[in-house]
Amino acid sequence: MAGASTTGLLKPLTLPIPSGAIEISPPVVLAPMAGITNAAFRLLCREQGAGLFVSEMVTARALIERNEETLRMITPGKGEFPRSIQLYAVDPRVAGLAVQMLGRENLADHIDMNFGCPVPKVTRKGGGAALPYKRNLFKEIVGSVVKNASEFNIPVTVKMRIGIDDDHKTFIDAGKSAAELGVNWVALHARTAAQMYSGNARWDAIGELVTALEPYGVPVLGNGDIWSGADGLRMVEQTGCAGVVVGRGCLGRPWLFAELVAAFEGREQPQPPTLRKVAEIMVRHGQLLSEYFEDEFRAARDMRKHMAWYLKGFRVGSEIRSQLGMIDDFQQMRALLDQIEEQPYPQEIGEAPRGRSSGVRQVSLPHRWLEDPDEIPAIALDDSVSGG
């Protein structure tokens, strides 16, 4: 489905949050990424412009048990608004209790539901991308969240994948069910769980979902393989989606959001940063992590995993790369960065795919999960997964 003119093609998306409706303009969303999209990284991306920045996935069970690390994960950064939380649940009752807590204690302005995570520790419990296959359970969970959130005027959105694998696609039925239950939009990562992060995202599936949800008036956001501002434009032109969700593309490249804003506003693309500018952004990231963790050593350890992403394509000696991956404080990081000669941004390599990658694999599922899609399985109340 092709758009006409891309400039101005994307209309703002409205979120009717508790304090009054706000516009997400342009509708460019930071995808939740475990271990990445903490408040520090979200602020770093927000400083580049664009629309909505969602927390790391948190589990409903951990929320109602008031897990200390989970509460840290939903604490907004300085000036962060709206407060957007991604919720994982496999039990409708627990999901409802978590939403009641978020609403009563005024902890969220927007809830995004995770039905897209493909990692084994989630799918083997029937969660994430595995759950929409059990269509009645999916309806009960989404219905519980929407009903409880409506008491506090909190909008609910859903993020999902094409399905478990090519033989068990769920995105059209699940998208329609979510629309009927009153979600504000549906975001589709255009891969199956079996694909994990391999191969190319199947943007044609995004277009199929756009067509399927048109009668409901529910927007579809596209996710998968957006590595540049031009990629965002192509996705909208090819699929007719109402917005884009960015995940791995912004790893080590938070300025991707500035590129997407410029692209959707029809402005000239900003100049890519030189190595010195990238180093400044890395220092800023480190400062924000120190404030977030209130512990420089912990912040430095967290920063280590970002080094290769930031420096991808730059000429950096192996010894310095190795030392950057073992920093204990940010003075050490700055000293190492100062030893690298100034260079232009390696555009071709810098805009290449990054982050997690893997081959197609069999999805880990609960025993006999695929036998009856209408069954509502007995889900254990312990729906927590490590990491919140």
Q: Catalytic site residues?
A: 117
> Can you read off the two tokens belonging to residue 360?
């197609």
Interaxial angle between packed helices 275-293 and 296-304, expressed in degrees from 0 to 180 and rounded to the nearest 10: 130
Neighbours of 189 (CB within 10 A): 30
SS3 letters across the chain: CCCCCCCCCCCCEEEEECCEEEEECCCEEECCCCCCCCHHHHHHHHCCCCCEEEEEEEEHHHHHCCCHHHHHHCCCCCCCCCCEEEEECCCHHHHHHHHHHHHHCCCCCEEEEEECCCCHHHHCCCCHHHHHHCHHHHHHHHHHHHHHHHCCCCCEEEEEECECCCCCECHHHHHHHHHHHCCCCEEEECCCCCCCCCCCCCHHHHHHHHHHHHHHCCCEEEECCCCCHHHHHHHHHHHCCCEEEECHHHCCCCCHHHHHHHHHCCCCCCCCCCHHHHHHHHHHHHHHHHHHHCCHHHHHHHHHCCHHHHCCCCCCCHHHHHHHCCCCCHHHHHHHHHCCCCCCCCHHHHCCCCCCCCCCCCCCCCCCCCCCCCCCCCCCCCCCCCCC
The residue count for the chain:
388
CB 54 within 8 A of CB 29: yes
